A = this chain, B = another copy of it.
Amino acid sequence: MEEKEISQAVIGRLPRYFRYLGELRDEGVERISSQELSELMKVTASQIRQDFNNFGGFGQQGYGYNVEYLYREIGKILGLDHTHNFVIIGAGNLGRALGNYINFERRGFIFRGMFDMNPELIGEEVRGVKVRPMEELEQFVRENDIDIAVLTIPKTSAVELVDKLIQNGIRAIWNFAHVDLNVPEGIQVENVHLSDSLMKLSYNITRYLKESGQDTN
């Protein structure tokens, strides 16, 4: 399929469409109009049509979109028809939480390995995957066709690690370390900066209190 240059804002909305369409499909809904989808998702119908037009529009005809078809097509655009092998670096609570998400596997993300520098954790298992020492990381990544590294380690270690990961074939980094990573072109990074998200929440609380006159500062 020919695709135009698509903004990261549109791409950021695709997983949400995918999620709603998956739920509709599970509920047995066969067709849906952009108007109905708009009400369900609380975005305008024109936004939906614009977003979908980036990908050829998905052939809305007569009464709306075919849910199954749309779900599958968006899944393909998201690359969910491929599998991706990932390792988690950092076997703390966050690493374990991510290793335990079976939903990831359903989307084609296969949890292959887990690494930690704490010798006490080596040999422990998370959903059948053994925690290995950091010394084995590079070889493991090379030999097991790992394309995504999930970083749940402190920021200094993350920065040092990234070059080694890339040299050994990693294509993408899902970064939970509280730092922005410098990577060469072609390496994808998706940041989940939890503190940033919490501060945004704090801003919105504070702002609302001021606007509604509940703040006495």
Name A's B-contacting residues (CB within 8 A): 3, 11-12, 14-16, 18-19, 41-42, 77-80, 82, 84, 92-94, 96-98, 100-101, 103-104, 107-109, 147-148, 171-172, 174, 178, 180, 186, 188, 190, 192-209, 212
Contact = CB atoms under 8 A, between A and B. Distances in A.
Given A107-B195, A192-B192, A206-B78, A200 B15 contact: yes
Contacts of A107: 195, 198-199, 202
Contacts of A207: 3, 79
Given A77-B203, A84-B205, A203-B79, A174 B198 contact: yes
Main secondary structure of the interface of A (DSSP, over half): helix
Contact of A14 (B171, B199, B205): B199
Contacts of A212: 186
Q: How many copies of this chain does the complex contain?
A: 2
Contacts of A82: 202, 206
Contact of A79 (B103, B109, B180, B205): B205
Contact of A197 (B42, B192, B203): B192
Given A18-B199, A97-B94, A200-B12, A147 B103 contact: no
A205 B172 contact: yes
Contacts of A195: 15, 19, 101, 103-104, 107
- CB-CB nearest 9 A-B residue pairs: A79-B206, A93-B97, A15-B196, A94-B97, A15-B199, A190-B201, A188-B204, A79-B202, A93-B96
A80 B198 CA distance: 10
A19 to B, nearest CB: 7
A98 to B, nearest CB: 7
Contacts of A196: 12, 15-16, 19
Given A109-B198, A190-B198, A205 B171 contact: yes
Given A94-B94, A100-B93, A200 B194 contact: no
Given A195-B19, A198-B104, A190 B172 contact: no
